[in-house]
Structure 1
Amino acid sequence: MLKRVRITLLVLAALALVSGCTGKFTDINKNPYDFTESDLKGDFQLLGAPLTQAQLFLLRYNDPPTAQLQQNLNSDVFSGYMMTPTPFEGNINNTNYALLYIWNNHPWNEAYRWVMKPCVFTQQKAGDKYPDFYAWATIMKVEAMHRISDIFGPIIYSHFGDINNENTFEYDSQQEAYNHFFHDLDTAINLLTNYVNSGSAQRFQAFDLVYKGDYVKWIKFANTLRLRLAIRINGVDKDKARKEGEAALKHPLGLLQDAKDNFAVDISPVTHPLNIMCYTWADLRMSAPMESILTGYNDPRLPHYFVHTDEGPDVYRGIRNGIRISLKEQYTGCSKLARFENKIQFMAAAEAWFLKAEASLNGWDGAGSAAFNYEKGVSTSFSQYGLTNFNDYLKNDTSKPRPYVDPLNKDNNVTADSKHLSTITIKWNEGASQEEKLERIITQKWIAMFPEGTEAWSEFRRTGYPKLFPVVINNSNNTINTEKFIRRLPFPQIEQVTNPKALSRAKKMLKGEDNGGTQLWWDTK
């Protein structure tokens, strides 16, 4: 406990140094730390404390209003996981594609200011002398910044901290950013693997809020992250995807295996921000696709994800995205989220098995059987919630997602004959088409990744699965196609003010205009 308090004090000191930032990217790039080489010796606090901060701010753990704008009112909603009953801004907001710039600055600003900056600091200070800290910072940097790239597209990554002769910070295209991600993960995995194999002391236990200093688990996470990114780009660069994916699959220490390997940041004693959004503010409820899929499958995970309504212990109701809401009280009776423990999950081990299942479909060496991996993904997800009845679930070849009925407005219903209602069943079918197999894998993966909306939204955009319900009201001014759903967030407005020349070049890297309807580089659906 004493160590934890000391770390917290150091982190707070670091935050105080940063708190004077004006929001300009020049300030975000500025190094808030200034420690000498001698300061790095001893208990390694000046190397480790910045990475404690980076973990805590992947999602703003101690500031629910910011966390709500950082992820919840974009990715968590766009992924089909959740919906708000609150008609923010007169019901003209992100949920119906009236993208609010003041909201959408937050994912960008939080990642650069509180995660990218301390990771780069630790990399610079660690250098060759502290390879374990260098590797750890690198893995954290990729984990944070691939999420930002998957929201916006081009990002400032390899040029972070480099001011050119125009006094601007250059962007990488998304393809360039991904190439850097792969290079950085390869470097980090090799460094940490060699360090472990050398028998050297494991030194960052006091700062690690995920794996408590277990270097092997960090290697497994990095391998799984590499496989995630390889799968993501398979539609646009098959050769690169195969190379990176097979490197992850063949690494001797492997991938995440079971629920004990989940990448989840311990924020104790602070409560999970989603609990505040749902229970204190009543701003968060179950989504309509979640109701449709989980009730249709009679999924045993349902009560571990959501709370039944007052209508009865078996009644769960979700809200469809992008509907007309005039008063908050209209839909607050829908299902609340089950309360989360004091950990924020960014990758479930079940995801590793579903990634392997898709790698099997791609024919990648080292992936094994698609059927085995698929079933292992489901069973690993079940075990995360102490459930053991996965065999019966996996044998079910009849249950399908249910039509959605809005008890307040039939215009929001999704009927049995709708093209947006999936007909995919649970049981693996070896004789099915590749597309049907993919839908089955991604649907179960989507269920298992809950509540990590950023990754779920990315996978939906990449594959089109699971089938979600389009918004009823589209306030995008024709910049987002209702049937194609939202594809990205526009670049943050602060960049137009502080980094306009580089931003202008970054916009030319896009497939279209800088709006929510333009698909990302890897998005081919």
Structure 2
Amino acid sequence: MKNISKIILGTVFAGMALSSCTSDLTDLNIDPKHPTVLPSANLMAKGQQQQFYYTYTGSVNYNNFKFFTQMWAETTYTDETNYDIVTRNQPRNNFNVMYNGVLNNYEQAKKNLVAEGGDANKMATLEIAEISAWETIVDTYGDVPYTQALQASTGQFAPAYDDAKSIYTDLFKRINAVIPTITAGTGYSEDLVYGGDMMKWKKLANSIKLRLALNLDDTDHATAKAAGEAAYASGLMTSDADSYALAFPGGLFSNPLFDDLIASGRKDFVPSELVVNMMNAKMDPRRPMYFTTVGGAYVGGVFGDGNPYPNYSHYQETTWLQPTAPATLLSYTEVLFMLTEAAARGYSVGGTADTWYKMAVTNSMNEYGVAAGDTSAYLLAHPYDAANWKKSIGEEAYIALHNRGFAEWNFSRRLDYPVFVNPTNSRLDGVPVRMPYSDQEYVLNKGNVTAAASKIGGDKATTKLFWDKF
């Protein structure tokens, strides 16, 4: 694992090693403690830290993935579980972090890498990381600024919103273009996720391509099937070691769930009854690794209600809440469930849906140290159901990908399982399927965001994305 603290803090101190003597008076205008050009490696690492932290966090200030998927219930404040996403300006905060933070760091790193002399593997790393960020953005909002985005240096302060499907088309194109540029050897040694292992970056690119393909399938099956099969043929993740996961070093750079649930000292969240009851009904052997018990039972909180903290199960600290625990944005287990779904949709991906389903469930059990005999018994009791494959895959993926909110949100929107019930006191007329646009866009980019809102059918959390057909 790379030293995140040193690499990211190096962003502040990069360029300080200047000569103590001045060759002419112009040197006096140089501030050695605040360099004007940062190494691309530092920008890349900072982009990674921001992307993982703010996508994985359960903070109600930055994203609502864990609430959109009804994963967490609240104990005291119930705004988020009743889908109030206005009071804390979550759309604005998420939009700004992703554009001004994550994407801006990756894009600037590309420019600085060119000035540094360029390197194909390093450029491929930045491109794939940026594609991953774009995937998250477009599947959070729908139509977003894309072709004209990140061009403030050229005077473009009001970018047009691109059609979400056209963004998908371009992301496929970018993935297809970047993979052949990867060569033997390493990329950035400062890479916080893969340590410069370019074969893992290639597998990530193909795994993102498969996820995009599955999202697209209900809208354009032929294109999706071709893309998904090509991703499989080119090489997907093949083990947990390939997962797109950032292991935090602790201290200043701790896992966000540790910050949310331990370091904060607050007792604001408990697992929801949706996931707990589902696992109870299945006698799921992962429960002891996921949750604590109350009076010998696993008890989830009511989503949308206030749930007194002592009365409900809590998250197991050793599993989820260590400061050095990894944050995972795309896992091998998710890839196996995606292959299950791909096979169910008729893709040629080297196995049947039943085969991939067994591998997916088994790998999830292995992630949490479940004994092989218990895994076998679980699969015998809860086999793949080809006649109701969306429910079979959707519910098992929901359990296996717990606390990976964005991944769960994709499965639940594609497959419509598990079934989410709008809380009694919800601020919305349905369960959210997208994040509304930032309120600041209506001030700074009013014409373009208004046009985008009209095009997609209204800037509401209940307005479906183009690929969410059912």
Task: Indicate the TM-score class for this superposition, using the shorter chain for normalisation.
Answer: 0.7 to 0.9
**Structure 1 residues 26-425: aligned runs within 5 Å:** 35=37, 46-60=39-53, 67-71=59-63, 74-87=64-77, 91=78, 93-100=79-86, 102-127=89-114, 129-162=118-151, 167-192=157-182, 195-196=183-184, 201-205=185-189, 207-251=190-234, 254-269=235-250, 270-279=253-262, 280-309=265-294, 311-312=295-296, 315-323=297-305, 325=306, 330-339=308-317, 340=320, 341=322, 342=324, 343-389=326-372, 390-396=375-381
For residues 46 and 156 of structure 2, what CA distance do their matches in structure 1 show?
A: 32
State whether residues 4 and 249 of structure 2, in contact with CA within 8 Å, keep that contact through their aligned partners in structure 1.
no
Alignment-mate amino acid for residue 51 of structure 1: M
State whether residues 320 and 471 of structure 1, in contact with CA within 8 Å, keep that contact through their aligned partners in structure 2.
no
2:427 paired with 1:427: no
Change over 3 Å in CA distance of 1:158–1:354 after alignment to 2: same
How far does the alpha carbon of each residue in 1:474-511 deviate from its partner, in whole angstroms, 9 at most, with x for none? 223xxx23xxx22212111011111112212221331x
Change over 3 Å in CA distance of 1:3–1:437 after alignment to 2: closer
SS at match of 1:235: coil
Alignment-mate amino acid for residue 185 of structure 1: I
State whether residues 206 and 232 of structure 2, in contact with CA within 8 Å, keep that contact through their aligned partners in structure 1.
yes
Alignment-mate amino acid for residue 262 of structure 1: S
Alignment-mate amino acid for residue 7 of structure 1: I
**Structure 2 match to 1:42:** none
Change over 3 Å in CA distance of 1:229–1:449 after alignment to 2: same
SS at match of 1:58: helix
For residues 222 and 501 of structure 1, what CA distance do their matches in structure 2 show?
A: 34
Change over 3 Å in CA distance of 1:387–1:358 after alignment to 2: same
State whether residues 317 and 334 of structure 1, in contact with CA within 8 Å, keep that contact through their aligned partners in structure 2.
yes
Change over 3 Å in CA distance of 1:166–1:275 after alignment to 2: closer
SS at match of 2:214: helix
State whether residues 102 and 133 of structure 2, in contact with CA within 8 Å, keep that contact through their aligned partners in structure 1.
yes
For residues 43 and 410 of structure 2, what CA distance do their matches in structure 1 show?
A: 28
Alignment-mate amino acid for residue 86 of structure 1: T
Displacement of 1:116 in angstroms is 0.2
**Structure 2 match to 1:488:** 434
For residues 350 and 359 of structure 1, what CA distance do their matches in structure 2 show?
A: 14
SS at match of 2:327: strand
For residues 94 and 282 of structure 1, what CA distance do their matches in structure 2 show?
A: 15
The match for 2:422 among 467, 470, 473 is: 470
Change over 3 Å in CA distance of 1:458–1:2 after alignment to 2: closer
Alignment-mate amino acid for residue 49 of structure 1: N
SS at match of 1:447: helix
Please, what TM-score do these two structures have when normalized by structure 2? 0.86
Displacement of 1:519 in angstroms is 0.9
For residues 386 and 63 of structure 1, what CA distance do their matches in structure 2 show?
A: 22
SS at match of 2:159: coil
Displacement of 1:84 in angstroms is 1.6
SS at match of 2:246: strand
Change over 3 Å in CA distance of 1:4–1:350 after alignment to 2: closer
Please, what TM-score do these two structures have when normalized by structure 1? 0.77
**Structure 2 match to 1:447:** 399
State whether residues 348 and 448 of structure 1, in contact with CA within 8 Å, keep that contact through their aligned partners in structure 2.
no
Change over 3 Å in CA distance of 1:218–1:460 after alignment to 2: same
For residues 62 and 178 of structure 1, what CA distance do their matches in structure 2 show?
A: 20
**Structure 1 match to 2:30:** none
Change over 3 Å in CA distance of 1:228–1:64 after alignment to 2: closer
For residues 213 and 110 of structure 1, what CA distance do their matches in structure 2 show?
A: 25
Alignment-mate amino acid for residue 302 of structure 1: R
For residues 345 and 56 of structure 2, what CA distance do their matches in structure 1 show?
A: 41
Q: Taking every aligned residue pair, what percent have the same amino acid on both sides?
A: 24
**Structure 1 match to 2:467:** 522
State whether residues 72 and 271 of structure 2, in contact with CA within 8 Å, keep that contact through their aligned partners in structure 1.
yes
How far does the alpha carbon of each residue in 1:368-400 deviate from its partner, in whole angstroms, 9 at most, with x for none? 21111110011111111222331111111xxxx
State whether residues 187 and 196 of structure 2, in contact with CA within 8 Å, keep that contact through their aligned partners in structure 1.
yes
For residues 345 and 384 of structure 2, what CA distance do their matches in structure 1 show?
A: 17
Q: Which runs of 5+ in 2 are unaligned?
A: 15-33
State whether residues 289 and 469 of structure 1, in contact with CA within 8 Å, keep that contact through their aligned partners in structure 2.
no
How far does the alpha carbon of each residue in 1:222-255 deviate from its partner, in whole angstroms, 9 at most, with x for none? 111110110011011112211211110111xx21
Displacement of 1:12 in angstroms is 4.0
Alignment-mate amino acid for residue 519 of structure 1: K
State whether residues 56 and 404 of structure 2, in contact with CA within 8 Å, keep that contact through their aligned partners in structure 1.
no
**Structure 2 match to 1:416:** none
Displacement of 1:99 in angstroms is 2.8
Change over 3 Å in CA distance of 1:94–1:33 after alignment to 2: farther
SS at match of 2:284: coil
SS at match of 1:466: coil
For residues 446 and 260 of structure 1, what CA distance do their matches in structure 2 show?
A: 21
For residues 158 and 335 of structure 2, what CA distance do their matches in structure 1 show?
A: 39
Displacement of 1:516 in angstroms is 1.4
Displacement of 1:158 in angstroms is 2.3
How far does the alpha carbon of each residue in 1:10-32 deviate from its partner, in whole angstroms, 9 at most, with x for none? 23459xxxxxxxxxxxxxxxxx9
Deviates more, 1:383-392 or 1:221-230: 383-392
Q: Which runs of 5+ in 1 are unaligned?
A: 15-31, 36-44, 397-425
Displacement of 1:157 in angstroms is 2.0
Change over 3 Å in CA distance of 1:336–1:125 after alignment to 2: same
RMSD: 2.6
State whether residues 307 and 337 of structure 1, in contact with CA within 8 Å, keep that contact through their aligned partners in structure 2.
yes
Displacement of 1:80 in angstroms is 2.3
Change over 3 Å in CA distance of 1:474–1:159 after alignment to 2: same
For residues 2 and 361 of structure 2, what CA distance do their matches in structure 1 show?
A: 39
Alignment-mate amino acid for residue 311 of structure 2: G
Alignment-mate amino acid for residue 453 of structure 1: G
Q: How many residues align?
A: 436
Change over 3 Å in CA distance of 1:12–1:374 after alignment to 2: farther
**Structure 2 match to 1:504:** 450
For residues 33 and 474 of structure 1, what CA distance do their matches in structure 2 show?
A: 49
For residues 260 and 374 of structure 1, what CA distance do their matches in structure 2 show?
A: 20
